[in-house]
């Protein structure tokens, strides 16, 4: 019993601490933890100083965020794949594969499970059909990607901003409407590294929000739900029909979101006229058990949740998926074009992997 109580107390403290991260100016708890920020910063600097970056023979773009948790990296990666293809590149993607059961290098396939490769890498592959490799060692993952797909001429690293072993040619730092929270480093705040005073070289700031939440110069990304699909149609890669929202506007549904910011998804559903009971879940919820009440007629959920429902039985419940797209503004697209104007005329062979 004492172990259960300790676990519950720890969860409650974590919830209180994370709530404090988003209060600005910092509240009393964040101020008490502030001395630990210097230790965290020193360890981060030491890790970076002791890391020797390995360079690929093709350009690398890192997409990440400075805060703990999601800020819209996955839709940014998918939109970047589409943009680079429009410019003539052949992109591939690497990711750690957060929450998966193993840490070795693995190629993601359409029939892979989220448990073995991670929900976000699987979603990226399903939506873009780009080759995706996962691995804790991103250098090994990138080299395996190039070895198996030599036509790939640019690599996008998903959520690798603080991973310095893989050299980068550019980085996209994504902020959502929460910005930098209280502006403090872990554990007193949500920042993994200090907020820069100026934008670093070859760095693009993308605001995945209605307006910039901080003062760093950057560009806006417009996110929107493209419609509704049955889970079966979504799995088959179909696109939503025109005014597909009308199918549920006269129904009361359960809206499920196992993402970092469920409120954002619920707000978008309200904008499309749906009436629903919100069911927020922990980020990367595994769906070992169905979370909605038995007998629920209709459930609407995110694509990140949908990838984990393969093989499950829902009885009479109809499950709907609301795909999300992100569109870059013209300034961001032009900035990517300036950094990577032309793909190489030919691919190069890849040397044998000698680094563990």
Kindly compute the dihedral angle of the four CA atoms of residues 72, 74, 79, 80, in this order, to the nearest 10 degrees. 100
- Is residue 217 domain-shared with residue 268, that is, in the same domain? no
Check residue 349 and give its pLDDT. Answer: 45
- Is residue 187 domain-shared with residue 85, that is, in the same domain? yes
Q: What is the pLDDT of residues 158-205, one digit of tens each?
A: 988 988 999 999 999 999 999 999 999 999 999 999 999 999 999 999
- Is residue 289 domain-shared with residue 214, that is, in the same domain? no
Give domain status of residue 17, yes or no: no
Q: How many CB atoms sit inside 10 A of residue 145's CB?
A: 25
Structure tokens at 22: 């988003």
- Is residue 198 domain-shared with residue 76, that is, in the same domain? yes
Give domain status of residue 12, yes or no: no
Answer for the pair 335, 221: CB distance below 8 angstroms, yes or no.
no
Q: What is the pLDDT of residues 43-70, one digit of tens each?
A: 999 998 999 999 999 999 999 999 987 8
Tell whether the model's pLDDT for residue 347 goes beyond 60: no
- Is residue 204 domain-shared with residue 248, that is, in the same domain? no
| Whole-angstrom distance, CA of residue 343 vs CA of residue 152 | 10
| DSSP alpha helix (H) spans, the chain | 2-21, 28-33, 35-49, 73-86, 114-117, 119-128, 138-148, 231-235, 262-271, 303-306, 330-339
- Is residue 71 domain-shared with residue 191, that is, in the same domain? yes
- Is residue 120 domain-shared with residue 245, that is, in the same domain? no
- Is residue 83 domain-shared with residue 201, that is, in the same domain? yes
Give domain status of residue 356, yes or no: no
Q: What is the CATH number of the domain that holds 90?
A: 3.40.50
Of the candidates 138, 137, 99, the one whose C-alpha atom is nearest the C-alpha of residue 116 is 99
Helix/strand/coil for 333: helix
Beta bridge partners of 134: 95, 106
Q: How many CB atoms sit inside 10 A of residue 348's CB?
A: 11
Of the candidates 182, 177, 180, 179, the one whose C-alpha atom is nearest the C-alpha of residue 27 is 182
- Is residue 144 domain-shared with residue 242, that is, in the same domain? no
Give domain status of residue 32, yes or no: no
Answer for the pair 113, 103: CB distance below 8 angstroms, yes or no.
no
Give domain status of residue 263, yes or no: yes
Confidence band, pLDDT 50/70/90 cuts, at residue 355:
very low
Answer for the pair 55, 92: CB distance below 8 angstroms, yes or no.
no
Confidence band, pLDDT 50/70/90 cuts, at residue 348:
very low
Angle, alpha carbons 181-161-110 (nearest 5°): 110
- Is residue 70 domain-shared with residue 207, that is, in the same domain? yes
Domain count, the chain: 2
pLDDT exceeding 70 applies to what percent of the chain? 94
- Is residue 76 domain-shared with residue 173, that is, in the same domain? yes
Structure tokens at 355: 């680094």
Q: What is the DSSP letter of 25?
A: S
Expressed as residue numbers, the domain containing 232 is 227-322
Q: What is the mean pLDDT of the chain?
A: 91
Give domain status of residue 297, yes or no: yes
Give domain status of residue 350, yes or no: no
| Whole-angstrom distance, CA of residue 221 vs CA of residue 328 | 5
Confidence band, pLDDT 50/70/90 cuts, at residue 3:
low
Tell me the chain's radius of gyration from C-alpha atoms.
21
| Whole-angstrom distance, CA of residue 319 vs CA of residue 316 | 9
Check residue 41 and give its pLDDT. Answer: 93
Give domain status of residue 50, yes or no: no
- Is residue 200 domain-shared with residue 257, that is, in the same domain? no
Kindly compute the dihedral angle of the four CA atoms of residues 35, 40, 42, 46, in this order, to the nearest 10 degrees. 170
Q: What is the DSSP letter of 185?
A: B
| Whole-angstrom distance, CA of residue 133 vs CA of residue 94 | 5
């Amino acid at each position: 019993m004492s172990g259960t109580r300790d676990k519950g107390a720890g969860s409650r403290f974590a919830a209180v601490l994370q709530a404090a991260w988003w209060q600005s100016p910092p509240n009393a708890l964040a101020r008490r933890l502030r001395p630990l920020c210097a230790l965290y910063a020193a360890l981060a600097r030491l890790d970076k100083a002791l890391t020797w970056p390995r360079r690929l023979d093709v350009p690398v773009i890192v997409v990440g965020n400075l805060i703990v948790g999601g800020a819209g990296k996955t839709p940014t990666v998918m939109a970047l794949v589409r943009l680079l293809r429009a410019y003539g590149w052949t992109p591939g993607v690497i990711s750690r594969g957060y929450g998966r059961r193993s840490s070795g290098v693995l190629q993601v396939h359409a029939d892979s499970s989220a448990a073995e490769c991670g929900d976000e890498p699987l979603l990226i592959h399903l939506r873009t059909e780009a080759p995706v490799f996962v691995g804790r060692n991103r250098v090994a993952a990138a080299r395996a990607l190039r070895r198996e797909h030599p036509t790939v001429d640019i690599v996008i690293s998903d959520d690798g901003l603080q991973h310095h072993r893989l050299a980068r040619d550019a980085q996209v730092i994504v902020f959502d409407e929460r910005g930098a929270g209280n502006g403090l480093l872990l554990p007193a705040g949500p920042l993994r590294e200090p907020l820069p005073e100026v934008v670093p070289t070859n760095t693009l700031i993308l605001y995945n929000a209605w307006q910039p939440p901080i003062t760093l110069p950057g560009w806006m990304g417009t996110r929107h739900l493209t419609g509704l699909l049955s889970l079966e149609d979504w799995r088959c890669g179909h696109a939503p029909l025109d005014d597909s929202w009308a199918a549920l506007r006269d129904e009361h549904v359960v809206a499920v979101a196992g993402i970092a910011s469920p409120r954002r998804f619920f707000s978008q559903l309200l904008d499309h006229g749906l009436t629903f009971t919100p069911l927020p879940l922990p980020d990367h919820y595994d769906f070992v058990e169905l979370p909605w009440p038995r007998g629920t007629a209709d459930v609407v959920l995110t694509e990140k949740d949908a990838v984990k429902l393969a093989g499950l039985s829902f009885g009479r419940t109809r499950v709907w998926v609301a795909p999300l797209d992100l569109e870059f503004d013209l300034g961001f697209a032009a900035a990517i074009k300036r950094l990577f104007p032309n793909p190489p005329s030919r691919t190069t062979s890849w040397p044998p992997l000698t680094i563990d």
